[in-house]
Amino acid sequence: MAAPANDTGKKETLIKIRGLVTGFGNKIIHDHLDLDVYRGEVLGVVGGSGSGKSVLMRTIIGLNKPRDGTIEVFGKRTAYAESPRMRPMEMRWGVLFQEGALFSSQTVAENIQVPLREYTQMSQDLMDEIAAVKLAMVGLPEDAAQKYPSELSGGMKKRAGLARALALDPELLFLDEPTSGLDPISANMFDELIRDLRQSLGLTVMMVTHDLDSLRAVADRVAVLVDKKIVTGTIDELRRDSTPWIHEYFAGARGRAALASAS
């Protein structure tokens, strides 16, 4: 089970979103959405298909441009990804995209070193050492460094992507569907890895997922995207919410099964 939720009234706000509006063409995805993410917590983000879970994450890190509203990370306004203002923030967060998003023409070690080359002027020897440390940190064997993504299993690709996300020792970690496509045993092992890294590194984690088991294993709070808005709370609080989608997700058959398996 996840650690008890922290007293958010005394916590530092790492991500502050106010009045966020996003959309594509004539379709509005988020309509004046407000959200806070607190230092040291794991916040799970869930929602139905098309609710904009990944869009929200990509907007926070500057890959999508919002139509309205403000986003602050580390107390500073974010901008579009091409803005030089983003570079200092990008060095303080790491991102694990869905499916790992590894560069197929590069080895695992070279993939891990991408942010080191982008943001630092380290020697190759030092980058090799850091890649080896990050591989060990995520539980991959030493010989994985010289493998290409096509030679890795799904679970290994996720871990390699996580190693790259951790390359710059970030304070804040974004995870997009980290356990999707994994078998139950691999998914459980990945949940344990995230929980251990959060505790040992003092990470703040924003995790987009559809996996109730992962939420119960690692999340302190959950943010639910529904009807273009957002509702936050602990899993127990959300189980009592009367909003139809939220109630069915957390208190329906699958929610009861996940609760039973966790107890």
Residue 68 lies in a domain: no
Q: What is the pLDDT of residue 82?
A: 74
> Which of the two residues, 8 and 93, has the higher pLDDT score?
93
Q: What is the mean pLDDT of residues 158-175?
A: 96
Residue 181 lies in a domain: yes
The answer to pTM > 0.85 is yes
**Structural domain total, the chain:** 1
Residue 19 lies in a domain: no
Residue pLDDT, tens place only, 188-204: 999 999 999 999 999 99
- For residue 89, what are the domain limits? 41-62+85-262
Q: If we measure between CA atoms, which residue out of 47, 51, 46, 45 comes closest to residue 28?
A: 51
CATH number of the domain that residue 90 is part of: 3.40.50.300
- Is residue 8's pLDDT more than 70? no
Residue pLDDT, tens place only, 57-66: 999 999 999 9
Residue 131 lies in a domain: yes
Q: If we measure between CA atoms, which residue out of 195, 45, 176 comes closest to residue 101?
A: 176
Residue 69 lies in a domain: no
- Is residue 7's pLDDT more than 70? no
- Is residue 34's pLDDT more than 50? yes
Residue 1 lies in a domain: no
> Which of the two residues, 81 and 87, has the higher pLDDT score?
87
First to last CA, the chain: 9
Residue 80 lies in a domain: no
| C-alpha span between 242 and 211 (Å, rounded) | 21
Residue 17 lies in a domain: no
